[in-house]
Chains A and B, each alone.
Chain A
């Protein structure tokens, strides 16, 4: 039986004891999750509507992750590098836009024209993040193209800290309260399910942005150039595509999406600070890997999936195991998911690219 499985490529050709251990560990984890979920459901602490509201909260959070994840995936698709500083690009847009939001709010425009000001804020944040991303590419990444793999990654880690603490120095280390328009306060009742209006705004904006990106990549000339460069840089260059220009454009688009996502994130949580980009950045990276890094629909799907797992997971998997205050562990669930995906299915949900990488 073992041999048939190996011949059909279900199992690797050479089995090592460590593969066995990992298989057993994976199986145990699955059993534990199933057992915890059954127990949680059996306890019946939460009603159906509550579960549904967890899912909605997860979708909202996930749509922001998805927008950030697109930046990772776009850059990875073209340069095969992880832009570790992407979370900071997200922060840069959101934090800078805080000052615009304040002045809009101070003039009373935020309440008078909530949608217009939201669009203005998202555009501004997108612009700022785009600038930061393009400058980062120009200064830190471009000279390192073709360097050994670890070098750009270490540079990106350095850039990440540099950006975090630069913005701390520029804008201060305090937590700033983001203003929220009157129109976005309160809930919308859907039967007995209460959905905060902000959540609807966030989801709709995120979906619009994702659709726009999808059409840009699939239907425009520039999008076609991007896809060509991601297939093969050299051949694309021979076809007359300005590869450097496409790379800059990719960083710019990824940055712009991250900036817009930053405004949405600030809208959900109502506050910004210099460290806000780090954890969402890691989560979004998880989302990108989950969907198959380099794959655009994958990043969107991965983001939404991660958001839901993170918001439902603690109550579903851990509550039943008798873990106290399971919500504290939601980040641990996200990172565990990341580790599991990277180990058991490094190609992600939708990815099929070979990920043999040195």
Chain B
């Protein structure tokens, strides 16, 4: 008996209610109010107020509800499942979501909730009713808006496959560029002020942005560009590919190698230029991202390759940082230089990696996760305690750690004369460390050890039966991961110059874990994607930082439910996923 159309419509309405509740929760947590200060779209013809991020998110949320519901009900009817008209389902869902918001408006305008819910301010009533207030208009507007936007979302969902990705990407790019306006314009100002170059970039930026938000012409240009790229690039690429295939085999190899060499060289030049060309604040962000990438590469070996869920990874980071701090800070009286202390820090990290690795050899899965979490906490508690205060400085930490690299004032090619700040100087050792870790991770993955790790991850007993030395393999994973974290810690200590035990809490481990999972477990490019999305973006957008951990939590849950293989999955994960889908279809 096929599920009835009515049942399907009921499900659509239920999805709408859930979506509305999610939007309401975001509102009550204070997200919208926080975002109200960031303009995204400039008003038409330059009059009126710009559309701010809060409104974009609310309306975008309603649009997404319609989009998702329509996607689910689109496609041909099958015998088992009768599908309603997608537009109808989407509209119903949107109206239901709007109704949830309207009900909140009705309640909150009559009962004062601020005593309990700190964000249930009058602003929220005004905002969620879309300016309609507590009257009938305030109830009608959200429902109507939900209906219309969900229909628009359905329209988007039903675009032909050829056009849809381009439009989606264009819309996302508009929101992203609008959000980044202040960062981008500040950057462009800095570049144009410090030297004559960059006039063209400045002109483009000026043209795209109005005073506040993306100008209407900018929106159109971005949409057109995104559409052109997604529609135009595919045939272009296919054409190039065809011409490439027609080349003789040896020429194919040679030109591919040449192309790769060219790409790598360009990328390296760009990476070397970035901190000097962009200034201190972006350099600071890049340093942080670099350290996270370094640790992400390390944890990716432990969690992604070997499947050992280590929640106490921050312990090795702390050990690296503290070793360097103790050895170099004048307070302890040893007074080594950074580069003399670094090998010691790495050795100590490896040592701890093995020492903490031995006890967990016999444990698996979640027990391993909890033990490593325990280790991480023990190390932090010890660092903060009075017992080790003479050496580690207790809660006050260790000060005056020297920088790893000092660049004197001088002229730089392409940049001009400048006096690099600490954040810009530290970028280079961090870049070198990331390069090294990347090379190591990449070479290890294909090596005998890498394959042993993956065998271990899939099935420990079978791996052992195939002659893999479990003890050595696991300890090697822990030690490699620990080394990279230790290196990250050492660079971090040298970058911030003062370390406190509070900088080494569990959240760091979670942060790194989230970025690996978002990127795709075991995927090396995934680490970079994850770090850019989860570290760089929140660093640049300060008002997100209040909701950073909340969003991390949501991201973890949603990724696990819908896309456990990550944004940039490894080839194996992709293959497994497609083979899993194939037989069931």
Contact = CB atoms under 8 A, between A and B. Distances in A.
Contact of A343 (B29, B311, B363, B560): B363
Nearest to A340: B359
Interface stretch (A41-49, A113-121, A160-168, A209-217): A160-168
A325 interface: yes
B375 A339 contact: yes
Given A150-B309, A357-B365, A170 B117 contact: yes
B1 interface: no
A339 B436 CA distance: 34
B111 interface: no
Contact of A149 (B365, B374, B514): B365
B278 to A, nearest CB: 31
A325 B117 contact: no
Nearest to B373: A282
A81 interface: yes
Chain A binding surface SS class:
helix
B555 A158 contact: yes
Contacts of A242: none
B381 A331 contact: yes
Interface in A95-111: 99
Contact of A150 (B307, B382, B385, B552): B307
A329 B514 CA distance: 29
A143 interface: yes
A330 B258 CA distance: 61
B358 A18 contact: yes
Contact of B358 (A22, A163, A165, A331): A22
Contact of B382 (A144, A285, A332, A346): A332
Interface in A286-328: 289, 323-326, 328
A161 B367 contact: no
B572 to A, nearest CB: 14
A193 interface: no
A333 to B, nearest CB: 9
Chain B: number of interface residues, binned into ranges:
35 or more
A82 interface: yes
Interface in A1-33: 16, 18, 21-22, 25
A335 interface: yes
A168 B30 CA distance: 10
B366 A325 contact: no
A186 interface: no
A271 interface: no
B363 A165 contact: no
A264 B109 CA distance: 35
6 contacts: A150-B365, A157-B556, A159-B553, A161-B553, A166-B25, A170-B117
Interface of B: 25, 28-31, 115-119, 307, 309, 311, 358-367, 369-371, 373-375, 377-378, 381-382, 384-387, 389, 459-460, 471, 510, 513-514, 517, 546-547, 549-550, 552-557, 560-561, 564
A-B CB proximity, top 9 nearest: A158-B556, A169-B29, A162-B553, A161-B553, A165-B550, A335-B374, A158-B557, A155-B560, A332-B381
